[in-house]
């Protein structure tokens, strides 16, 4: 019997030498005359352990990590292919607490299957949701999604079913499904991990969306910083089309749906849905005024469902297991699970899919094991570069859309960036303004000029020039940006800036050297 | 590459893409992939094929930071400067990179900031072409530029 | 002078519809055609909402953020140019909060604008100047030492008008006029964010671009950015005459 070894092909693993490692494993096996089946799976999401190698044993999959290319000889010597003893042996993967404590619905297959094997996908409940959808009326599919309580995972948390219903009820000869895979928030990688680890589930989710609203063409807009995601998606689309899951006659149902990947070009603002649509149309990624909503006049002026990767990838399990199953997870009006992404200065960073309601403290300490530097954690930015910085007093609030709104914070796309006590929050507030200045589309005045002035005001504050007056000006500027901007780029930059100022005021007062 | 060959390869890219809806970005990507940049004198050619004005094509190229209209350096290293990488010392890494490459000859290597590579739990991170590197220490950076054959 | 020379600008184009909508603006009942913007509905009933990027010869754009209003039961401060009237809507165009927001926006505009109003060719016929007055801007707390476009090169290549990027407020009215009024598409915005600036062709002088010198952009410009050379030489006109030819 051949030995089955898993070496992730996920970008994070590749960035840590997984390709060289895979090559060494094959070479070493050949040298030892062993037949090895090497699978390039997605990442399990325990990123501090990457590259995480797994071997299939009679007891289950055994994990080794982090493994470098140089470790390979010693691993074979230790009979690792049969789960042998070695310093890097972590035991059964499924028994690792980090994974065991999770509730993996959307990420159920990520890291387990071969991302490009349709056979593997089908063997792990793949296309069950689509098969159910094919037996349902469009309105019934929309109703399932509405009833599940699924809200937009890109950050805005708008109920997905309501969006779909508007598109369904808007008559048009052509409708579109657009997947927003312009995952630009620092501290987030859930979209990337999903596209690289289980691309078929996204394809399935988009196909269900197409059936639900009567769309025949879909686009996945992926940022240019994710070249591997683009490659994998293209291969997966070709495979799905060849097998009849996409194309002119999906599973002989008479329904047609074509899917294409489009590449961004270095513009964070294109994660804003109307900018993304402009970009897809081949234009400058300038924010559109709403109304009209994209659901009524979206891509090329046609009714368009535009959803984030995770929203769309959560649809198959909702259709497969039913709305009630999904809705049962979570708390309050935040139903289901969110793939949290623990990043930055953290010992055990990674992807943690949990039902809403878990707290930051649990994520950072129970899962994350505290800071990577070993120093005390000072501030946590939740929800990307437009999200607030949270001080320790807020770490016990359950992660829930409404609870975070009450804190004047956001969950966004679930990114969590940890900073230890060496962080200077005034510098981070300056960076928030700087990032807005770099990424502003330039359409509206509060964002176009405001962000640049914001950097200058922060420079004065950091230099200790006329601090009181500059802080007042900063607050006024934030008010103009918050209430006057066209979209979240300028409109939410005040979140990191003001939360830093309000929770860490001492960082904004220049320390006078003794 | 000479001008005639530019024009020819651009023409073949345009003809293979121009009938797609919203073809401008895919065309610009393909041209940049083939030539390393988008030659300003090709803008008329692109505009005519898509029934656009030169101004429109120019507006699009200058909006997106990924596109460039001048030839790139022999090597481009994009270092992530976003928050998660900052929390693990990205600023120091950028300083180190600049210092190490200060002596390299003009056009040999360009260091550019990039804002998130999606490697936020394995920071700091950087990208060379499509090749990713994570948990990049100054020592790891030095080994990398040595492997790339960059003389400092 | 302005009143006599320039016709009243309703901010957004007239909409024709059989259906009429009645709403309340600043306590007054207003009835307009369905599809009309709040801005135009207000203007038709004599309420002038501050504006810079809106003009009734062009489709609404929503970029300047001076025309923000409050709508009962609605979150935030929607732009009155891009928001259409709805039956029973209650709109307020003048509140202390709106005044503060507009002043904040004007303060940003003026922090990147030359202060040569008295010697500027648009003096007396400049919407930016008017809005600075309307919003009660008295001070620019950012100072004038920050990043700015004040030293941008002026383009005098066109025989009939000049382009002075230092005075550009990126309202896109010229770009939109070139597209919507003239259909030439000779103008775009180059760059993005703070770097955004009107660009003929590929950042070229007007005469080397696709410009046909129709003057639609000059007509649309609310500042002295695109200015007729005759006005620069002779001053603002003291009366106007209706003619037919655009050239």
From chain A, pick out residues whose CB is under 8 angstroms from the CB of B88.
344-345, 372
pLDDT at residue C2 in the model = 47
Distance from CA of A12 to the nearest CA of B (A): 6
Rounded-to-integer distance, Cα A392 and Cα A400, Å = 17
Does the beta-carbon distance from A344 to B132 stay under 8 Å?
Answer: no
Phi-psi region of B107 (alpha: psi -120 to 50; beta: other; left: phi over 0): left
Q: Which domain holds residue B26?
A: 3-63
Domain boundary among B19, B42, B63: B63
What values do phi and psi take at C143, rounded to 5?
A: 75, -175
Residues B47 and B87 in one domain: no
Residues B57 and B79 in one domain: no
Average pLDDT over all residues of chain A: 97
Q: Is B136 part of any domain?
A: yes
Whether A388 contacts A409, CB under 8 Å: yes
Domain boundary among B24, B41, B63: B63
Q: Is B152 part of any domain?
A: no
Residues B117 and B142 in one domain: yes
Q: What is the dihedral of CA A484, A489, C59, C29, to 10 degrees?
A: -30
Strand partners, A350: A46, A342
Domains contained in chain A, CATH given: 3-100 (3.40.30.10), 118-326 (3.40.50.11540), 331-420 (3.10.20.600), 425-508 (1.20.1440.230)
Q: Which among B43, B53, B62 has the least Cβ separation from residue C190?
A: B62
pLDDT at residue B66 in the model = 97
Rounded-to-integer distance, Cα C64 and Cα C11, Å = 12
- Predicted-complex ipTM score: 0.96
Residues B33 and B87 in one domain: no
Domain boundary among B23, B40, B63: B63
From chain C, pick out residues whose CB is under 8 angstroms from the CB of A439.
193
Q: Which among C65, C142, C191 has the least Cβ separation from residue A444?
A: C65
Q: Which among A439, A446, A457 has the least Cβ separation from residue C105?
A: A446
Residues B85 and B127 in one domain: yes
- State the CATH number of the domain containing residue B95: 3.40.30.10
Cβ–Cβ contact C188 with B under 8 A: yes
Rounded-to-integer distance, Cα A231 and Cα B133, Å = 18
Domains contained in chain C, CATH given: 22-94 (3.10.20.740), 103-234 (3.30.70.20)
- Under the banding of pLDDT at 50, 70 and 90, the label for residue C1 is very low
Write the DSSP symbol of residue B13: H
Residues B38 and B18 in one domain: yes
Identify the chains in contact with C, defined as 3+ C-beta pairs within 8 A: A, B
Residues B84 and B133 in one domain: yes
Whether C81 contacts C51, CB under 8 Å: yes
Residues B45 and B82 in one domain: no
The residue of chain A with its CA nearest to that of C101 is A480
Distance from CA of C193 to the nearest CA of A (A): 4
From chain C, pick out residues whose CB is under 8 angstroms from the CB of A449.
108-109, 111-112, 194
Does the beta-carbon distance from C192 to A449 stay under 8 Å?
Answer: no
Q: Residue A137 pLDDT more than 80?
A: yes
pTM above the 0.95 mark?
yes
- In a mutagenesis test of the B interface, which of A8, A14, A186, A364 is the best target, namely the one with the most B β-carbons within 10 Å? A186
Residues B81 and B133 in one domain: yes
- State the CATH number of the domain containing residue B20: 1.10.10
Does the beta-carbon distance from A281 to B118 stay under 8 Å?
Answer: no
Does the beta-carbon distance from A15 to B50 stay under 8 Å?
Answer: no
Residues B58 and B83 in one domain: no
Q: Is B10 part of any domain?
A: yes
Chains B and C form CB pairs within 8 A to the count of: 42
Interval C39-80: pLDDT, tens: 999 999 999 999 999 999 999 999 999 999 999 999 999 999
Residues B82 and B131 in one domain: yes
The continuous run of DSSP H or E covering A220 comes out as strand A217-222
Q: Residue A313 pLDDT more than 50?
A: yes
Residue A432: closest CA among A370, A498, A477, A377: A498
Interval A349-393: pLDDT, tens: 999 999 999 999 999 999 999 999 999 999 999 999 999 999 999
Rounded-to-integer distance, Cα A362 and Cα A374, Å = 17
Cβ–Cβ contact A499 with B under 8 A: no
A177: Cα within 13 Å, side-chain hemisphere: 29
Q: Residue B133 pLDDT more than 60?
A: yes
> In chain B, how many domains are there?
2
From chain B, pick out residues whose CB is under 8 angstroms from the CB of C203.
58
C-alpha to C-alpha distances, C141 to A451, A469, A472, C123, nearest whole angstrom: 15, 9, 10, 24
Q: Which among B26, B60, B120 has the least Cβ separation from residue A187?
A: B120
Residue A186: closest CA among A15, A417, A379, A380: A417
Whether C184 contacts C212, CB under 8 Å: yes
Q: Is B112 helix (H, G, I), strand (E, B) or coil?
A: strand
**DSSP codes joined into one string, A472-499:** HHHHHHHHHHHHH-SSHHHHHTHHHHHH
Residues B23 and B86 in one domain: no
């Amino acid at each position: 019997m051949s030995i089955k070894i898993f070496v992730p092909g996920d970008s994070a693993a590749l960035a840590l030498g997984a390709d060289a490692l895979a090559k060494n494993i094959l070479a070493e096996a050949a040298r030892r005359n062993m037949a090895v089946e090497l699978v390039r799976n997605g990442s399990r999401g325990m990123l501090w352990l990457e590259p995480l190698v797994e071997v299939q044993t009679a007891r289950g999959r055994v994990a080794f990590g982090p493994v470098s290319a140089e470790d390979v000889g010693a691993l074979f010597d230790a009979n690792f292919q049969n789960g042998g003893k070695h310093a890097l042996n972590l035991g059964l993967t499924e028994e690792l607490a980090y994974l065991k404590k999770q509730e993996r619905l959307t990420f159920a297959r990520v890291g387990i299957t071969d991302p490009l094997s349709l056979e593997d996908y089908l063997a792990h409940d793949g296309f069950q949701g689509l098969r159910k959808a094919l037996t349902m009326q469009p309105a019934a599919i929309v109703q399932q999604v509405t009833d599940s309580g699924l809200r937009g995972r890109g950050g805005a948390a708008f109920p997905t079913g309501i969006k779909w219903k508007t598109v369904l009820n808007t008559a048009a000869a052509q409708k579109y499904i657009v997947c927003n895979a312009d995952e630009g928030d620092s501290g987030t990688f859930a979209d990337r991990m999903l596209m690289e680890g289980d691309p078929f589930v996204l394809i399935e989710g988009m196909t269900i969306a197409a059936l639900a609203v009567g769309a025949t063409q879909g686009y996945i807009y992926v940022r240019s910083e994710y070249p591997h995601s683009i490659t994998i998606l293209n291969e997966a689309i070709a495979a799905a089309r060849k097998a009849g899951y996409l194309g002119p006659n999906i599973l002989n149902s008479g329904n047609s749906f074509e899917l294409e990947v489009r590449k961004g070009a270095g513009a964070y603002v294109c994660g804003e849905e109307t900018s993304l649509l402009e970009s897809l149309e081949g234009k400058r990624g300038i924010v559109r005024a709403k109304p009209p909503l994209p659901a009524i006049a979206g891509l090329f002026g046609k009714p368009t469902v535009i959803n984030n990767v995770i929203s769309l990838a959560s649809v198959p399990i909702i259709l497969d297991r039913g709305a009630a199953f999904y809705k049962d997870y979570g708390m309050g009006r935040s139903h289901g699970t969110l793939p949290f992404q623990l990043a930055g200065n953290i010992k055990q960073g990674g992807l943690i899919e949990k039902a809403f309601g878990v707290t930051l403290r649990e994520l950072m300490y129970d899962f994350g094991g505290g800071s990577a530097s070993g120093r005390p954690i000072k501030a946590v930015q939740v929800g990307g570069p437009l999200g607030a910085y949270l001080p320790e007093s807020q770490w016990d609030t359950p992660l829930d859309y409404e609870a975070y709104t009450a804190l004047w914070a956001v969950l966004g796309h679930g990114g969590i960036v940890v900073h230890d006590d060496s962080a200077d929050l005034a510098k981070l507030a300056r960076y928030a303004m700087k990032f807005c200045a770099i990424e502003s589309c330039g359409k509206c005045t509060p964002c176009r000029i405001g962000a640049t002035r914001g950097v200058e005001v922060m420079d004065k504050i950091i230099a200790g020039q006329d601090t009181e007056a500059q802080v007042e000006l900063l607050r006024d500027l934030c008010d103009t940006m918050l209430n006057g901007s066209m979209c979240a780029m300028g409109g939410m930059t005040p979140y990191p800036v003001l939360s830093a100022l309000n929770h860490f005021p001492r960082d904004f007062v220049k320390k006078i050297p003794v | 590459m000479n001008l005639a060959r530019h024009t020819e390869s651009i023409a073949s890219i345009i003809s293979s893409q121009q009938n797609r809806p919203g073809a401008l970005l895919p065309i610009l990507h393909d041209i940049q992939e083939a030539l390393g940049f988008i030659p300003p004198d090709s803008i008329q050619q692109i505009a005519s094929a898509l029934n656009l004005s030169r101004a429109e094509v120019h507006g699009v190229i200058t909006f997106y930071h990924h596109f460039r209209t001048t030839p790139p350096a022999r090597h481009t290293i994009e270092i992530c400067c976003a928050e998660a990488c900052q929390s693990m010392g990205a600023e120091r890494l950028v300083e180190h990179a600049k210092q190490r490459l200060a002596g390299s000859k003009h056009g040999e290597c360009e260091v550019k900031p990039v804002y998130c590579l999606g490697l936020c739990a394995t920071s700091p991170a950087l990208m060379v072409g499509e090749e990713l590197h994570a948990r990049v220490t100054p020592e790891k950076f030095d080994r990398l530029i040595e492997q790339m054959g960059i003389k400092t | 002078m302005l009143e006599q020379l320039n016709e009243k600008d309703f901010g957004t184009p007239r909409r024709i519809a059989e259906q009429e909508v009645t709403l309340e603006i600043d306590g007054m009942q207003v009835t307009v055609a369905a599809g009309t913007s709040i801005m135009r509905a207000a203007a038709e009933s004599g309420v002038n909402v501050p504006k810079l990027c809106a003009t009734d010869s062009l489709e609404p754009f929503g970029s300047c953020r001076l025309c923000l209003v409050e709508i009962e039961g609605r979150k935030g401060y929607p732009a009155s140019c891009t928001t259409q009237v709805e039956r029973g809507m209650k709109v307020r165009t003048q509140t202390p909060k709106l005044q503060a927001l507009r002043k904040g926006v004007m303060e940003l505009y003026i922090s990147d604008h030359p202060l040569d109003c008295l010697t500027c060719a648009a003096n007396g016929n400049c919407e930016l100047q008017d809005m600075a007055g309307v919003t009660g801007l008295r001070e620019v707390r950012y100072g004038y030492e920050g990043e700015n476009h004040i030293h941008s090169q002026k383009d005098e290549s066109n025989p009939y008008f000049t382009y002075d990027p230092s005075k550009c407020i990126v309202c896109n009215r010229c770009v939109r006029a070139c597209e919507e009024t003239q259909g030439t598409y000779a103008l775009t915005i180059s760059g993005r964010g703070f770097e955004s600036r009107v660009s003929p062709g590929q950042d070229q002088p007007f005469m080397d671009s696709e410009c046909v010198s129709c003057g639609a952009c000059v007509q649309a410009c609310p500042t002295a950015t695109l200015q007729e050379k005759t006005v620069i030489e002779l001053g603002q006109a003291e009366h106007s005459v209706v003619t037919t030819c655009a050239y």
